[in-house]
Amino acid sequence: MLDKLEEIENQFVALEKKISDPEIITNIPVYQEHVKKHAELKDVVEIIRELKKTNQEITDLQEMLKDPEYKEFAKEELETTQKKQSRLENDIQTFLIPKDKNDKKNALIEIRSGTGGDEAALFAADLYRMYTKFADSKGWATEVLSENITEMGGVKEIIFVISGTNVYAQLKFEMGTHRVQRVPDTETQGRVHTSAATVAILPEAEEVDITIDTKDLRVDTYRASGSGGQHVNKTSSAVRITHLPTNVVVSCQDERSQFQNKERCMRMLRTKLYETEVEKKRKTEADLRKSQVGSGDRSQKIRTYNFPQKRITDHRINVSIFYLEEFLNGKISELIEKLQTVERLEKIKLTSESI
């Protein structure tokens, strides 16, 4: 660890010299990059230097323990200084945790009903409402890109974007299969049924994140179906885009104009292609191993909502909470914070093993 800290401090000193170099100052892009990196390292370098000073103080106090005249004083001071040392080491370790550059992004969310028929679709609608309520409590904005609603008001599939500050950092843990155990409204004998819905959380990609060549796209237009007014049967406003190299297909028919539907399709396509690239990178870089908490996919059963016992259980961290109604009304921060803590501890452990 000491070698790593020395490397960070040397890098900081080198950057200080570079941002004072007249030749670099005139090269605006390079200069700005160096200034940004310098600012990122400044706080941790101050902690590293404070830790060095504290380590020396501990060495001096340990020497003082050998002197009977100063033994009691040194003993008290040593205990306080060692606590300071531990705090500084924890602060540095937190800095060394690999950062997920996607954490600051908006989140594109797909919810699909799974096993359970109409009840699964109604549960999927409950999940959509839960996330929008949570977004409202954070002051985030929600925009539906595509939806398939059942006659009973359930959700077969819905794709929407939540925009705000660090949205993906908080919602990425929701990826996976959510299971519900309750008595459906259609059940006449009071039997508890088990249904499921799947949730995918993707960091919304921007145009700068991924380049799409229009030559690689096949764009099909067709008449929309379902609710939406007279335009549904009179205009070919629905759009389906196929990315030929990857065979990724996205479609949208919810807007009245073909242009708006195409724009929404492109947002979904960019995000799906970006996630594919991120997954490839994760698989090829062993040192960027995903933590158990943050690596969910649609097939992983992550949570059970038990209505008879008013209990929500997250199976990844084996934690249960007992305010189901409030939870489904968007009060999900407590569980998210627990998941974030576990992920942080796992990353600290991985970081410690690598230095």
Q: How many CA atoms lie within 13 A of 304 on its CB side?
A: 16
Quote the pLDDT of residue 296. Answer: 46
The dihedral region occupied by 226, where left means phi > 0, alpha psi between -120 and 50, and beta the remainder, is left
Rounded to whole angstroms, the Cα distance separating 269 from 217 reads 10
Is the sign of the CA dihedral 108, 103, 105, 312 positive or negative? positive
C-alpha closest to that of 311 among 319, 320, 302: 320
pLDDT above 90 as % of the chain: 56
Q: Which of 181-190, 210-219, 238-247 has the lowest mean pLDDT?
A: 181-190
Query: Is 162's pLDDT higher than 80?
Result: yes
Cα distances (Å, whole numbers) of residue 350 to 4, 48, 72: 15, 20, 39
Domain 214-284 part of CATH 3.30.160.20 = yes
Radius of gyration of the CA atoms of the chain, in A: 27
What would the pLDDT profile of 125-148 be if each residue is shown by its tens digit?
999 999 999 999 999 999 998 899
Provide mean pLDDT across the span 50-72.
93
**pTM (predicted TM-score):** 0.69
Q: What is the C-alpha separation between 226 and 162, in angstroms, rounded?
A: 25
Whether 307 has a pLDDT exceeding 60, the answer reads: yes
Residue 172's closest CA among 314, 339, 355? 339
Q: Which of 173, 176, 177 is nearest to 342 (CA)?
A: 173
pLDDT at 234 over 70: no
Domain boundaries, the chain: 2-96, 102-208+292-354, 214-284
| pLDDT reading at 295 higher than 60 | no
Q: What is the mean pLDDT of the chain?
A: 86
Binned at pLDDT 50, 70 and 90, residue 289 comes out as very low
Q: In which residue are the tokens 């803590």 written?
A: 341
Residue 305 Cα distances to 6, 208, 260, 328, angstroms: 49, 39, 37, 9
Burial class (CB within 10 angstroms; exposed 0-12, middle 13-18, buried 19+) of 276: middle
102-208+292-354 and 214-284 share one CATH topology?
Answer: no
b/e burial code for range 302-339 (CB count within 10 A of at least 16 → b): bbbbbeeeebbbbebbeeebeebeebbebbbeebbebb
* Rounded Cα–Cα distance for residues 329 and 235 (Å): 38
pLDDT band of 283, cuts 50, 70, 90:
low
DSSP secondary structure, 182-203, as one string? E--TT-SS---EEEEEEEEEEE
Q: Which pLDDT score is estimated for 231?
A: 42
Please state which of the four CATH numbers 3.30.70.1660, 3.20.20.150, 3.40.50.720, 1.10.490.20 is assigned to the domain occupying 102-208+292-354: 3.30.70.1660
The model's pLDDT over 43-58, given as tens digits with 9 standing for 90+, comes to: 899 999 999 999 999 9
User: Residue range 174-194: average pLDDT?
Assistant: 88
- Beta pairing, strands 301-306 & 248-252: unpaired
